[in-house]
Amino acid sequence: MKKISSKVGGLKNLMFIGALLVLGLILLLDIYLVDKILAPLEYFYLFFAILVIFYGLYPLYVNRRLTKYYWERTKRHRLAVFGLSFIAFLIAVAIIGPFLTQDPTKVNFEEKNLPPLGFSIQQSVYDLKTGEFVTRETPGTWKHLLGTDDKGRDMLAMLVSGARVSLQVGLLATFIAILIGTIMGVLSAYLGGWADMGLMRFTDIMMTFPFFLLLVFIIFIFGPSLAFIILAIGLTGWTGTARLVRSEALSLRTREFIMASKSLGASDARIIFRHLIPNVLSSIIVIATLSIPAVILAEAALSFIGLGDPTVTSWGVVLHAGQRTLDIAWWVAVEPGIMLFLTVLAFNFLGDGIRDAFDPRSQL
């Protein structure tokens, strides 16, 4: 992966800095001139998109031969391809879906507990004409393809909104965790001595906390908001990455090519950014892909027990509502769970495929 940088050179860096400047400009504009264009989360998101384009997609585009090689290897994993296509579908849904579906927060008690299309249930309904409750057959309608919940909110719209939340949380929190973990790991391996000791003992302490208990504890203290949940998961989930990066960096540090560049007078920063990080990147990508589902599940679990952001409609929130109406409306609990399950499964399949594809030792 390290051959990429020499080919691309200065232009890319310039464009990257330019994009960051534009983002900063928007931020300044937002703070000083206009009253709120974007929510704080959106900045996170734009920054993330810029990073992915410049450090993910662009190198892959420039280095088509390598891209093709990785693609060939990933493609042989049929399950990984399924995972990738499902994730692509989900991203598309999360981006354009909310413009096509109804408002997921719109309450309508006249259309409550409608089953998905093709199903039909008996339930007591308030009759507007007589003013009495009557038991009536309520079939699923085309207007609400996947049914409605006990407040008459459209399930499809809520699921689409949930896809957006889950992907936001999954990608951003993982990104933060990986970033912190990589910095910790590289620093620890590179500085050595007392710094290494201190950082690794801190990692050990963080690892001792059961992840979910710590998360619940932090949310309990600081209060639930989506941005904070993302931050909390990111700030607690970096330990595994730190250990992995440290051990890989330690073994790399003594390799010939790094020794060679050191003896040629390369600075520490240059060695870290040009040699160390590109070489641990494949492990980082694998661990990132495999930790996205864990993060998505953590957010869903928090929302499910009522510690999620009350202002967003995530799958966990819908599931929480569905648990209460299990005996009347089974679909409210079933549908978000299936989405959650498929998403996690897709990321797990993809992660497994990528791991095999990046591992030069594995024979497919």
Partner 1 sequence: MKRGGLQGYIIKRLIYAALIAFGVVTITFFLLRLGPSSPADKYLANMSARTQDPAQVVAAIEARYGLDKPVYEQYIDYVVNLARGDWGWSFSTSMPVMKLIQRHWVYSFQLILLSMLFSASLGILIGIYSAVKQYTRTDYLATLFSFIGISIPNFWLGIMLILVFSVQLGWFKTFYDTGLPMFSLANLKALILPVITLGTGMMAGYTRYARSATLDNLRKEFVKTARAKGLPERVVIGKHVFRNAILPVITIIMFDLSGVVFGGAYLTEIIFGIPGLGRISFNAIFAGDYPVVVTITLIGALVVLLTNLATDIVYTWLDPRIRYD
Q: Which residues bind partner 1 (CB under 8 A)?
A: 79, 201-202, 204-214, 216-218, 220-223, 293, 297-298, 300-301, 304-307, 319, 322-323, 326-327, 330, 333-334, 337, 340-341, 344-345, 348-349
CB of 321 to partner 1, least distance (A): 12
Q: Please, what is the end-to-end C-alpha distance for the chain in angstroms?
A: 20
CB of 247 to partner 1, least distance (A): 16
- CA 331 – CA 24 distance, rounded (Å): 44
Q: Of 20 and 235, which has the nearer Cβ to partner 1?
A: 235
Reduced 3-state DSSP string for 189-219: HHHCHHHHHHHHHHHHHHHHCCHHHHHHHHH
The DSSP H or E segment spanning 25 is helix 10-32
| SS3 state of residue 183 | helix
- CA 249 – CA 280 distance, rounded (Å): 7
CB of 352 to partner 1, least distance (A): 8
Q: Which residues contact 90 (CB under 8 A, 6 or more apart)?
A: 163, 167, 343, 346
CB of 323 to partner 1, least distance (A): 6
Q: Of 218 and 258, which has the nearer Cβ to partner 1?
A: 218
Helices (H), 192-314: 193-208, 211-222, 226-236, 239-253, 256-263, 268-270, 277-304
Q: Of 257 and 341, which has the nearer Cβ to partner 1?
A: 341
Q: Of 242 and 271, which has the nearer Cβ to partner 1?
A: 242
Q: Of 294 and 312, which has the nearer Cβ to partner 1?
A: 294
User: Of 193, 181, 173, whose CA–CA distance to 243 is shortest?
Assistant: 181
124 strand-pairing partners: 135
Q: Of 56 and 223, which has the nearer Cβ to partner 1?
A: 223
User: Of 103, 121, 142, whose CA–CA distance to 332 is shortest?
Assistant: 121
CB of 351 to partner 1, least distance (A): 11
Q: Of 157 and 297, which has the nearer Cβ to partner 1?
A: 297
The DSSP H or E segment spanning 126 is strand 120-126
Answer for the pair 325, 113: CB distance below 8 angstroms, yes or no: yes
CB of 249 to partner 1, least distance (A): 23
CB of 29 to partner 1, least distance (A): 29
